[in-house]
Amino acid sequence: MSNMTASERHAAERRERTKMVPLPSDSIVPERDVNERPVLECRHLGIEFGGLKAVDDFNFTVGKTEIAGLIGPNGAGKTTVFNLLTKVYNPTHGMVMLDGQDTAGMDIAAASRAGVARTFQNIRLFSSLSVEDNVKIGLHNQIKEHTAPAVFRLPSYWKAEKQMHERALELLDFFDMGVYANHVAGSLPYGAQRRLEIVRALATNPKLLLLDEPAAGMNPSETAELMDNIRRIRDEFHIAVMLIEHDMDLVMGICEGIAVLNFGKIIAKGTPEQIQSNPQVIEAYLGKQDEEA
Ligand SMILES: Nc1ncnc2c1ncn2[C@@H]1O[C@H](COP(=O)(O)OP(=O)(O)OP(=O)(O)O)[C@@H](O)[C@H]1O
């Protein structure tokens, strides 16, 4: 394996490790997850804006520790799916089950507590705050805060502060970012800011981490490092990751199950090998890319 590029190595590792098995719902999950409750089940999910069906009859399941991919041409509806999963939008059709919980009626904060976290296509950090404070913002959704201890600086307040500081550093260290803890977030190099977004999302203790174009703007070595980090997140936090990405080496290198959207509809679902050899996908998406190249 020594002469392989990072993405070839990832693809080889994935082929060795992951066997995808079908569920009765026409979805597939990694074999290791088949007896576990899926972290995400979308059934006939859809949303209309005016007359436009931005997402239509979206059926997709993500296993408990799966790395899943959502791909498709620009405007296909991918980010809208993430907005539905995080309750930025309420669906006009269908349902989303998060770790077995129906998310109907939840707002963004409730969905976060139920276990979904995300990063955005364009970096959204509190750029004038410190790196540590950005992570602590993520941690806040798990800590029950009472006004009196904070106002009167009671011992329970300091204990919670200490716990948050330690946890924030632990998470930053996981990504070799502990040295940046006191830096202003906006002063970090681009790649480090993208990593910080992931750390902040992980701080909410999610079961499902949604990454919207995590490799955008990255050079090949940063992308290879990102792929390693996504794998490490899955392996060490034992959570699922679902990502939207245009970088096909990344998608085919680390994703286990993939859905392809075109004009709001799933046109193909399957393993990277199945997706790469699907004529509809090649025509709708991969072929188009080749023509552009
Ligand atoms: N709030 C909204 N109101 C009206 N139309 C919307 C809204 N949000 C998304 N759309 C439309 O839904 C469609 C899907 O958009 P979406 O951003 O989900 O695509 P995408 O696959 O993420 O694209 P890209 O790869 O370019 O980010 C587009 O036609 C978009 O204009």
> What's phi and psi for 192, nearest 5 deg?
-70, -35
The average pLDDT across 32-38 equals 89
Q: Give the ipTM.
A: 0.95
105-143 pLDDT per residue, tens:
999 999 999 999 999 988 888 889 999 999 999 888 666
Length of the chain: 293
Pocket lining for ligand 1, CB < 6 angstroms: 49, 52, 54, 72, 74-80
Ligand 1, closest atom to CA 261?
A: 21
Average pLDDT over the chain reads: 88
Predicted confidence at residue 143, as pLDDT, reads 60
Ligand 1, closest atom to CA 76?
A: 21
What's this model's pTM, rounded to 2 decimal places?
0.87
Q: What is the 263 CA–ligand 1 centroid distance (Å)? A: 10
Name the CATH superfamily for 1-115+207-293: P-loop containing nucleotide triphosphate hydrolases (3.40.50.300)
Sheet holding 40-49, edge to edge: 52-62, 40-49, 93-98, 101-102
Q: What is the 79 CA–ligand 1 centroid distance (Å)? A: 7
Is the four-CA dihedral 177, 213, 6, 60 of positive or negative sign?
Answer: positive
229-270 pLDDT per residue, tens:
999 999 999 999 999 999 999 999 999 999 999 999 999 999
User: What residues are paired with 210 via a beta bridge?
Assistant: 118, 242
The average pLDDT across 27-33 equals 86
Strands (E), the chain: 20-22, 28-30, 40-49, 52-62, 67-71, 93-98, 101-102, 116-118, 208-212, 240-244, 257-262, 265-270
SS3 content of the chain, % helix, strand, coil (to 5): 45, 25, 30
Residue 282 has which token pair?
């090649």
For tokens 């004009």, name the residue: 263
78-96 pLDDT per residue, tens:
999 999 999 999 999 999 9
The rounded Cα 124 to chain-centroid distance in angstroms is 15
Which residue has its alpha carbon closest to ligand 1 atom 16?
Answer: 77
Which residue has its alpha carbon closest to ligand 1 atom 30?
Answer: 75
Predicted confidence at residue 292, as pLDDT, reads 47
Ligand 1, closest atom to CA 83?
A: 18
User: Which sequence spans correspond to the domains of the chain?
Assistant: 1-115+207-293, 125-205
Residue of 48, 71, 79, 263 to test ligand 1 pocket, by largest number of atoms within 8 Å of CB: 79
Which residue has its alpha carbon closest to ligand 1 atom 2?
Answer: 49
